[in-house]
Structure 1
Amino acid sequence: MTEFATSADGTRIAYDRQGSGPPVILIDGAMQFRAFDPATTQMAKELAGHGFSVVHYDRRGRGESPAESPITLEQTLDDLRALISEATEGADDAVALFGGSSGAAIALAAAASGMPVSKLVLWETPLGDELGTDAAEFLAGLRERIASRDGDATIEYYMKDMPPEWLAGAKASPGWPIMTSMGPSLEPDAEALAWTQSAARPALWAGVAQPTLVLVGEQTLDLMLTSADSLVANLPNAVRSAVPASDHAWEPRSMALTIAGFLVG
């Protein structure tokens, strides 16, 4: 059954909670929400079966969490604070965070902000070069397209550096209109990725001392491997592992088993 957390500005954030045990919050990446992300929904169910209380939510501006543009990273972090309070029943206990793709950059920003985070699991975070400017330039371009209210142009721009067959497949799918409606909610994804280039990473992430599992697929893009290397090199307590996956998509059961093993360990 859908529950709701109330963020700092009064926005209601919809979520599902499954299982009992230590709390884990799942942070979706670009163009994902509960009703549009069956792999994460299934993974949440599998992870709950390993003895965790799993919160899977619709990010601001998606699914059952409607919100007006602009949608910012600061608001997204406020949403997470509200969800942590719900997950811990107001006790301010620590929660584990799983972030997928650009959602992993949001998870990192949450931990760096001082939220009560026990462990991090980061799946294929698409980082640019340390101290690069490409993510900030991308963010500026994305904001221009969001302001134009052209949903097709916004998603085409967001996916411009991905393999071209991914965009072609998305445009040919029945889910394309849903994707184009989510344009404003992509701003925090781009903003979080720009943040990862805003300072030297050893300093930027010095306070993220939580045990961190950096995951990549057994078949993946070179960008993801380079990004994983940077995360492990610059986070104080990170390890890297590979899971059965290709084309930036995982198998839910094996992903849940990998996450559970890390969180228990």
Structure 2
Amino acid sequence: MTDRLTTSRVTTARGDAVTYDLRGEGPGLVFVAGAGPFRAIDPITTETAERVSRQGVTTVVHDRLGRGDSPADGVLDLERELAALAAVIAVADRGTGRGAVLCGHSSGCTIALAAARVGLPVTGLVLWEAPLGDDAAATKEWIDEFERRLDAEDYVGATEQYMKDMPPEWLEGMRRSPDFAELARGSRSQRADGESLVRASAALEDGTLASVGVPVLATYGTSTFPEMPLSARKIVDAVPHGEVREVAGAFHSWEPVAMADVLARFVRDAVGR
């Protein structure tokens, strides 16, 4: 099978332009990044997409709105992000009508869950370390303050708020960059992450996550934070067709060789269903 790369751009129903990398032939797989990454700074996802595409899968890795080569103005909320996701699912589908599997990373997991819940053509979900350890009330309080700072154009403050419960060395690493102020502007693209985290947390508590009828594989790394296996189990317990699996990985990132094999097998099984 081929992993030949095509880089192109698709326009969403909302008029946003989304740049993506397309590889391979076969059933579709779309990677949904979490709160920070985009193609140019995410070699792990790129390598994984390359490896999966060699196993008979069409892979799409895109820059989310407001990141990398997908610049966007205005309020980048979850509805715009879902429109972008719908557009790249259509790219991965290649006109077959089969839709695509979504692979979410971190808060990208909750965007992927939102896509399935609103009826986008999703055939399955692979979720890597969904950060759903807090209850819905605490999650909403955290995001409300993040959005307050974002709306005030306090991008540094918004970044600090979004990252306040993450390992402190992550934020300190950003601060050491001479481009920190510009990096902090990337918080504009995290509104969709916040909204999807609030929705997913509430759906876990009120039982409505059961509306996700597609197969769900909730994964976490062999070396990870204690809440990640717990979050994976919470998701699987809430959906009709779920499985939990540990996959080689550390520091909130998967190991590309191991994850590629898991993804290729999951996509083939989804097509078989």
Q: TM-score, normalised by structure 1?
A: 0.93
Alignment-derived partner of residue 44 in structure 2? 39
2:131 maps to 1:110? no
SS in 1 for 2:202: coil
* 5+ long unaligned stretches in structure 2: 1-5
Name the SS of the counterpart of 2:211 in structure 1: coil
Match of 1:96 in 2: 101
What SS does the corresponding residue of 1:21 show, helix, strand or coil?
coil
Distance in 2 of aligned mates of 1:53 and 1:128 = 32
Q: Within 5 Å, which residues of 2 pair with 1:135-174? A: 135-173=139-177
1:6 partnered with 2:11: yes
Give the aligned partner of residue 249 of structure 1: 253
C-alpha offsets along residues 115-146 of structure 1, whole Å, 9 cap, x if unaligned?
A: 1111110000001445x211111221111221
Q: Which residue does 2:197 correspond to in 1? A: 193
1:79 Cα shift?
1.0
How far does the alpha carbon of each residue in 1:38-83 deviate from its partner, in whole angstroms, 9 at most, with x for none? 1111111111111110000010111111111311101111111112
> SS at 1:205's partner residue?
helix
1:18 paired residue number:
23
In structure 1, distance between residues paired with 2:159 and 2:47: 26
Q: Is the 8 A contact 2:204 2:235 kept in 1?
A: no
Shift of 1:174: 6.5
Tell me what 1:207 maps to.
211
Q: Determine the structure 2 residue equivalent to 1:227.
A: 231
Shifted more, 117-126 versus 75-84: the winner is: 75-84
Q: How many residues align?
A: 264
Displacement of 1:175 in angstroms is 6.9
Determine if contact 2:57/2:267 at 8 Å carries over to the other structure: no
* Distance (Å, rounded) in 1 between the aligned partners of 2:234 and 2:256: 26
Q: Quick one: structure 1 residues 136 and 46, their matched pair in 2 at CA, closer, same or farther if it must change by over 3 Å?
A: same
Could you tell me the percent identity over the aligned residues?
39
Q: Deviations over 1:127-186 (max 9, x none)?
A: 1445x2111112211112212323322222211101112222332356745531311100
* Paired amino acid for 1:225: P
Q: State the distance in 1 between where 2:155 and 2:177 align.
A: 15
Structure 1 gap ranges (5+): none
39, 49, 53: which is aligned to 1:48?
A: 53
- Rounded to whole Å, the distance in 2 between the matches of 1:47 and 1:89 is 17
Q: 2:89 aligns with which of 73, 84, 93?
A: 84
Aligned to 1:73: 78
Q: Which AA in structure 2 matches 1:253? A: V
Q: Is the 8 A contact 1:128 1:134 kept in 2?
A: no
For residue 82 of structure 1, give the secondary structure of its aligned residue in structure 2: helix
- Secondary structure of 1:197's aligned partner: helix
- Give the whole-Å Cα distance in 2 for the aligned partners of 1:114 and 1:92: 14
Q: TM-score, normalised by structure 2?
A: 0.91
CA RMSD of aligned residues (A): 1.8
Q: Which amino acid aligns with 2:188?
A: P
Contact kept? 1:155, 1:179, Cα under 8 Å: no
2:130 paired with 1:125: yes
